[in-house]
Amino acid sequence: MRRGFTLVELLAVIIILGVLSLITIPVISSEINKSRINAYRTSVQNIIDKAKEYSVKNMQDSDIPEDGLDIKVLKFKNKNIKSGLIKKNENDEIEAINIYDGNYCASGTKNSIIIERVNNVEECNTIDFTAPVLKIKVVKVNNTSIMVNAYGTDSQSDIYKYQFKIGNEEFHDVTTNKNVASYEFTNLRSNTDYEITVRVSNINVTNNDSQYKNNLDTHTTEGVINAKTLAVGIPEFKVSSNGFSKSKEIEIIYPKIDGGVNYYKLLDSDSIYVDSNSIKIDVTKNGKLFAYVEYGSEIVENSINIYGIDDNGPQIVDIVNPDTWEKTKVVTFKVKDTGSGLASRPYSFDGGKTWIKGNDPDNKSIITRTYTSNQTVDFLVRDKMGNITPIESFLNGEKLHINKVDRTNPKCSLKVSSGTLGTNGWYKKGSIDDVTVEFNELIDQAEDEQGRLINTNGVVKADLSNTTSDSQTVLGSSKPRSLSSVIKYNGIYIVNAKVYDEAGNTSTCSLEVKRDIEEPVITGFKVNGSAYGSGYLSGSTVQAVCKDDVSGVASTPASTPMTTVGANSREVSCTDKAGNTVSKASGNYTIYIYTADASKCGMENYSCNPHSCNPYKCNGYSCNAHNCNPYQCNCVPTYGTQRYACGQNCTKVRDVCCRNGSDNCSTCFKNVCNTKYCTRQVQTGTSCQTCYNTCYDTCYNTCYNTCYDTCRRAASCWHL
């Protein structure tokens, strides 16, 4: 028989008691805490009621102020309440905010107060007793889907998750701590109304405290929004550019429809089916694009007008290129562009090497160009898209040729077409007395594109006139070459002509015409011979004294010599410069013949003694044995000791200077050039100049001999 417990049994009992204490103590403690919380909840509820009474008695509008009531103004039995606030929430319910008694913190409406044990008032102020704030917005709707954005905020804690549901479906969770979440409901029926419910929960939803679990107001806010799907999704278009371009990329976006068939077509083209919900196509022509969606038995279409595609260059409307001859030709180019418009520098005249602006500030579609030569124009015009139109498009494949530009003056010359030509260029009396002038040459030319001269239509107008008061002026005619000017009066005339071509170029030409149809007038007679007594020596001739006031006297030839003693008469004439001649008989003249030395007078050699023939009337000279006068003879020297040996080498040349009746050399020499009968000898060798000047006043023989010694190698020191 045993009397007590063993050690093992005691240990077992102790363990059991420990386990029981671990189980029972928390339960007991929890129950105690619950009773205290319930007691504090009652106190807070009494505070809410007390706040209502206070507001009715003390507030002007008998309501709790918007900023709330500090619990310190309230009088209540629980003296341990330290801080807190009573105010109205967004639902116009009276709510306790962070009521603190030193151990517990309470917040909430009267029927949903949440109480937490805290260590201090700061911890009380950070406890989240309220649910988040929620806003819902439908952001996208098409025929088969609806997208919703939920915006949740909580001033005391973080957002934990969002929940979305449509109609009676289950909620779809989106766990995130962000203030916004999106959810798209798909595979919906088109053209149908839907109710969408959204919940947002803060971090309190994870709290296992029954106060929170059973009170949605502390952690979850729910909202509802209605939306309706579109009837059937309409295809949408996105165009790459609203402006002008050579082509455009257009994106077709089809609605997402299960079982839908997508396709598109351009006007007047076949349908093209699309396997995806979008497609990008390049369109190069303006027109209309259709997009289709087949959904069951329904077909939905959308279309877009495509414009702004400019793949054509500007149009050349007109080119004004006058078909007339001009010095400078102004050509006008007119263009238009119905697309993107002309470029800022739309014109080129050199095949695109350079581009220039128009020169009409009021109309950019017009440009004028001035040409001063015939040439080919490589004209281009372009638009803002860079489309270029050549001039060939307007001229059936041809380039523009600028022609009928003429800056070359015409040529003309005049000629005498009728009249009797005399001498010295004068027209004299004859079978045709009047002198007629007309054009000899009449040519008009212009330069072609290569700069070569080509004949044109010729002179279209001419003026022909002379310069005297009695002149004729002939104006332009359709046949300028037939113009003429008739000169009916004597004198020298300048006939002028001015010719015009079709382009207005002018040229002048002139011709001097001399007309003299009047014979000269014999006004008297002159005897050529030596007077002797009341007559003249034998051999004298008669010459007419003439006058001509137009062309002037050309010649008055002397008559044959008169050799008959006694009265003599001769027929004399004179001729003017035009060739007109007149003759007339002179009066009678008496002729005498000398007897002294008559046989020698007038011969080659004779003695010029004082009583012989008059040396001033004789055509001769003295050639004595020892003196050959160098001023009267051209003596051929014989080289050697003899300087001028007179003899067979002394020959007569012409009338020379006699000694004037003196044998003194110096006297003759000094007077050699002072009398009309003298012909001065000249000095040609430059080395003889000094000799000539030195010997001027000495006898000619001495002077010459000295000169010859100095200048013997000169070609000719002295000659007549």
pLDDT in tens, 220-250: 899 999 999 877 778 999 998 888 888 999 9
Q: Are strands 426-428 and 506-516 parallel, antiparallel or unpaired?
A: parallel
**pLDDT range class, residue 142, cuts 50, 70, 90:** confident
- For residue 656, what pLDDT is reported? 33
- For residue 600, what pLDDT is reported? 36
Q: Which of 33-37, 130-134, 230-234, 295-299 has the lowest mean pLDDT?
A: 295-299
Strand locations in 517-600 (E) = 521-528, 531-532, 535-537, 541-547, 553-555, 566-568, 571-576, 581-585, 589-592
Instruction: Supply the DSSP string of 354-371, one letter for each residue.
Output: S-B--S-TT-TTEEEEEE
- For residue 10, what pLDDT is reported? 79
Instruction: Say if residue 377's pLDDT is above 80.
Output: yes
- For residue 87, what pLDDT is reported? 86
Instruction: Say if residue 422's pLDDT is above 70.
Output: yes
Neighbours of 149 (CB within 10 A): 16
Phi-psi region of 196 (alpha: psi -120 to 50; beta: other; left: phi over 0): beta
Quote the tokens at residue 435. 């002198």
Nearest 5°: the CA angle 271, 273, 278 is 120
**Arithmetic mean of pLDDT over the chain:** 78
Pick from 291-300, 343-352, 461-470 the range whose average pLDDT is largest.
343-352
pLDDT in tens, 589-642: 998 875 433 333 333 333 333 333 333 333 333 333 333 343 333 333 433 333
Who wins on pLDDT, 608 or 350? Answer: 350
Who wins on pLDDT, 695 or 401? Answer: 401
Instruction: Say if residue 77's pLDDT is above 80.
Output: no
**18 CB burial (10 A radius; 0-12, 13-18, 19+):** exposed
pLDDT in tens, 544-562: 999 999 999 999 999 999 9
pLDDT in tens, 60-76: 677 888 788 888 887 76
Taking alpha carbons only, the member of 110, 88, 94 closest to residue 44 is: 110
pLDDT in tens, 144-163: 789 999 999 987 788 999 99
Question: What share of the chain in percent tops pLDDT 70?
Answer: 77
**Under 8 Å between Cβ of 495 and 510:** yes
**pLDDT range class, residue 468, cuts 50, 70, 90:** low
pLDDT in tens, 166-202: 999 999 999 999 999 999 998 887 788 999 999 999 8
- For residue 519, what pLDDT is reported? 94
Distant-in-sequence, close-in-space partners of 450: CB < 8 Å, separation ≥ 6: none
How many whole angstroms separate alpha carbon 156 and alpha carbon 130?
8
- For residue 17, what pLDDT is reported? 80
- For residue 670, what pLDDT is reported? 36
**Under 8 Å between Cβ of 389 and 313:** yes
Q: Which of 389-398, 478-487, 677-686 has the lowest mean pLDDT?
A: 677-686
List of long-range contacts for 695-700, beta carbons under 8 Å, 24+ apart: 696/669, 697/666, 697/669, 697/670, 698/665, 698/666, 699/665, 699/666, 699/669, 700/629, 700/630, 700/631, 700/665, 700/668, 700/669
**pLDDT range class, residue 27, cuts 50, 70, 90:** low
Neighbours of 125 (CB within 10 A): 14
pLDDT in tens, 558-586: 999 998 888 999 999 999 999 999 999 99
Nearest 5°: the CA angle 556, 558, 559 is 130
